[in-house]
Each structure stands twice: as structure tokens, then as C-alpha cells.
Structure 1
Amino acid sequence: MAGHSKFKNIQHRKGRQDAVRAKHFSKLSKEITVAAKVGGPDPDGNPRLRLAIQNARGQSVPKDNIERAISKSQMGDASDYEEIRYEGYGPGGTAVIVEVLTDNRNRSASNVRSTFSKNGGTLGETGSVSFMFDRIGEIVYKPEAGDADTVLEQAVEAGAEDVQSDEDGHTITCAFEDLGDVSKALEAALGEAESVKMIWRAQNDIEVDEEKAATLMKLIETLEDDDDVQNVYTNFEVSDEVMAKLTAA
């Protein structure tokens, strides 16, 4: 995740964030629709929906969009989305996990396979790389939530396992089965989080050189541009020197 997180920062600095805003809102809304369709439209009785709404609000998705996504889940013609996880290898032997919500399995499989092959990667079988990651809950707060000591104290009280704080904010992690309870307790103590979700965290990162890093970032960018792709996780890491060159490119 270290490399993936840095890549997000590069996207932001290059101004790409604005260009993908609408697409990002659409993906968050899709998750709300699926969660509401599977577990019902009442967030009080549907933990997945409650987390999806909390995450969408933290990402500044308008209230109307959230309500429309919930309403869509109850319509007879609502799409039947299927959740699929693809796993494969990127340049330099890096591991890549791709989470998809799709109403067309064949389309998604073809697009993901093509993206891997065109960007120095190889699509593998389910389970081929996920054993190198841990499934955990992640809650992110902006710096305004409080200083590092305050956030740490509240996170421990809420039952979190770890907190990483820096100038960009606070990243709190917990066991994935505790995500609902921990996020609810933190919301009461610190306010609304910027994001609340289950993630795949790499157990060990693989350092790649400048050439492989550039290709890998292109692979991730292309995958994330796909409407069916919800999340992409990798285990790559680059040196500060290489990152500076890629940022300036």
C-alpha cells in the first residue's frame, strides 16, 4: 500500500484529482446501491451500507447522490452487480489486487486482462497474490481531526490496532471484522472520517526501479480509470529519488 498511497499523491499534485472526481463519486454510489440491495436500505440494520454511506460522505459525495443510490437499489430494474476479485503480477514481480463491481463479468475480465498485458503485467488465478496481503479495516482522518496524541488516544479507546499520523492526516487500522464498531466510536469522538473501508495491506513491499515504477503506475492508473474497478492494491515501493523524478515527469 505504500507505493499505492504515494501514487495517489502524485495524481493529486498533477491535478488529476479533479478529472476523476465524477468517476469516483459514481463508484462510491455503486457501492451504496449494492450494499443497500444486498442488506436492505436501512443503514441502522445494514453495516455494509452504513460504512458505504460514511465513506461517501467523507469523500464529499452530495446527500442527493447518496439518497438516489439507495433508492436505485430498491427499483425492479436495478442492475445485478457482481463482486469479483482479480489478482496478478505487475512489473518487477509486484503483486496487484483488483476489486470489481460489474454487471458484465465477461467485459470486466477482458478489460482487466488486457490492461495487465499492455502494461507489463500478468493476470493470475484467484488467490495467487492475496496471501501476501492482510485484509484489514482502514479509517482515514484529515489533519484537522486533532493532533497525533489525541487521535491515538481515541483510536485505542475505540479498539483500533494501529495509527499512523503525518502532515497529510491520520490513518487508523483495525481488524476488518471490527471496522463498523471502531468507525462508529471514532465518529462520535472525532467527527466524520474522510474514508472508512476494508483494504488489502501488503505484508511486505517490493522496491522497483524508475522504469518499472513508471510502468506499474500506468497499470494502476488504467485499472482505476475502468468504470467497473472499485479498488486497486499493490505492494510496490520506490526510493525518494525515483519518486521525485516520476513526480517531475
Structure 2
Amino acid sequence: MAGHSKFKNIMHRKGAQDKKRSAMFSKLSREITVAAKMGTPDPDMNPRLRAAVMAAKAQSMPKDNIERAINKASVGEGENYEELRYEGFGPGGVSLIVEALTDNRNRTATNVRTIFSKNGGNLGASGSVSHGFSRLGLISYPASAGSADQIFEAAIEAGAEDVESGEDGHEIWTAQEDLHEVARALEKSLGEPESTKLAWRPQTPVEVGEGDAGSLLKLIDSLDDDDDVQTVWGNYEVPDEIMEKLS
């Protein structure tokens, strides 16, 4: 998973999530509720909520589930979640950023630290790895949205900063403050994207060898499995031939 699939590599294997739909829907619902509580329950007027709803739709989350999550915020129901970010190191010298939504800071910190230590990694201090990433907006489209040239032209015209295209799809990067303006412009020319979100883009990717790849992916899977963890970002690239062996 290198080159054409850089973003799939950074975000890890989305296919592994498909077997955990209940847990995935729970995380999506949590983000929708938090986004709705922080702003208005109208996605058109709340960029974060709009992004959360789009992410849920991209994972085929039922409409009733989405509306229920928004209504929880509207009537003041549901837990009050705190946004946390953890930074650490995985096998092969890889840097990882873990984003969480939690109603119990101590529980989440203990779980994340334990997962790192049990899987060949170690949790670092705040800021220990984030300096090696850029905080940007990310808009994802499937390969069927158009050719690399078509997507590039549409993205630049919409105000994007960079585009990565491959057989897995297209990743369009923007300044974080321009994310939703660019996303709206792209919807007019390309249709609704698969996802729109703020992301951590590594400045210097690290290629991981076969000896460390299995342990690294196990670490990331274990973090993904934690109920409080929303997203795991990393600066790793695993060559396609190694990914095939591990699949």
C-alpha cells in the first residue's frame, strides 16, 4: 500500500471496519451528536455536523440512526463527550495520532496507553509527533468520480491545495479553514464526496518493513477497536507486496 494508495495506507484498511458495523455506527453516532451539540442541529448551517452526516452516509448508516443521533443533541440527551488527542510511536519508528471522544478521560488514557505498550509502541507527550504532521482539510472521492486530470482541474478551480489520485480514489487536500467552502464547490461539479473531514497529513512518510508491519497494523487495529477512539492517523507506508502477505 504505497504510492497510489497513500491515503488508504495512512488511514489503515477501511475494509477491516466493515466487520464491525455496530461499533462503527456507534462511533459515527457519537460524532454526530457531539457536532450537533456544539452548533446547530441543521447540517447546512453546521459544517462539522454536515461532515459527520456525510461520513455516516458513506458507511451506509441508516437514516433513522442519523436522525436519532441529531435528536439526542436537540433535546439535550446523551453523554457529554470530551475531545482528546494522544500522540505516540509504533513499531518501525512510526508516528501515530489518536483522536478520541470520551465521557471518562482516565479510562480512555489508560486504555490507549495499554494498547500502545502491548503492541510494541509507546505513548508520547502532547506534541511529541504532531509537529511532523500538517492539519488540513481532506475531501475523498471514489475513482468513479472522474479521471485524475478531471478531478485535479475541478479541485484547483474549487480552491484546493493538492490532489492525490489512484485506482482506489481521489484525495483532495485543502487548508483547514477552506475545507467546507471547497467541499461545497466540488459538490456542484463532482457530486457528493465519500467524506469531508479535518485530517493529519504526515510531512515525511516512513516506509515500514515486513518485520514491523504486522505489529504496527495490529496496534492500529487494537486502537480502532477501542470504543472511545474515533480516528488513528499515522505517517507509515507499507509496500503493496507486504500488505498482500499480511492480508
> Under a length normalisation based on structure 2, what TM-score does the superposition of the two structures give?
0.92
Aligned counterpart, 1:243: 243
Residue type of the alignment partner of 1:66: I
CA contact (8 A) 1:7 1:217 kept: no
Give the Cα separation in 1 of the matches to 2:215 and 2:128: 21
Say if 2:139 is the partner of 1:139.
Answer: yes
Give the Cα separation in 2 of the matches to 1:9 and 1:89: 16
Give the Cα separation in 2 of the matches to 1:50 and 1:172: 18
Identity of aligned residues (%): 59
Distance 1:221 1:9, change over 3 A: closer
Give the Cα separation in 1 of the matches to 2:243 and 2:36: 40
Give the Cα separation in 2 of the matches to 1:36 and 1:104: 20
Aligned alpha-carbon RMSD (Å): 1.9
Aligned counterpart, 1:36: 36
**What runs of 5+ residues in structure 2 fail to find an aligned partner?**
none
Aligned counterpart, 1:56: 56
Say if 2:191 is the partner of 1:191.
Answer: yes
Give the Cα separation in 1 of the matches to 2:127 and 2:49: 27
| Structural mapping, 1:17-166, within 5 Å | 17-166=17-166
CA contact (8 A) 1:55 1:193 kept: no
**What runs of 5+ residues in structure 1 fail to find an aligned partner?**
none
Is the deviation greater in 61-70 or in 93-102?
A: 61-70
Question: Could you give the per-residue CA deviations for residues 161-209 of structure 1, whole angstroms, max 9, x where no partner exists?
Answer: 1112211111111111111101111112111111111110111112222
CA contact (8 A) 1:4 1:233 kept: no
Is the deviation greater in 183-192 or in 20-29?
A: 20-29
Q: In the alignment, which of 5, 10, 29 is matched to residue 8 of structure 2?
A: 5
User: Which of structure 1's runs of 4+ aligned residues deviate more than 4 A?
Assistant: 1-4, 7-11
Give the Cα separation in 1 of the matches to 2:241 and 2:150: 33
Shift of 1:30: 1.1
Residue type of the alignment partner of 1:157: E
CA contact (8 A) 1:4 1:234 kept: no
Distance 1:9 1:32, change over 3 A: closer
Give the Cα separation in 1 of the matches to 2:127 and 2:17: 31
CA contact (8 A) 2:89 2:95 kept: yes
Give the Cα separation in 2 of the matches to 1:5 and 1:146: 18
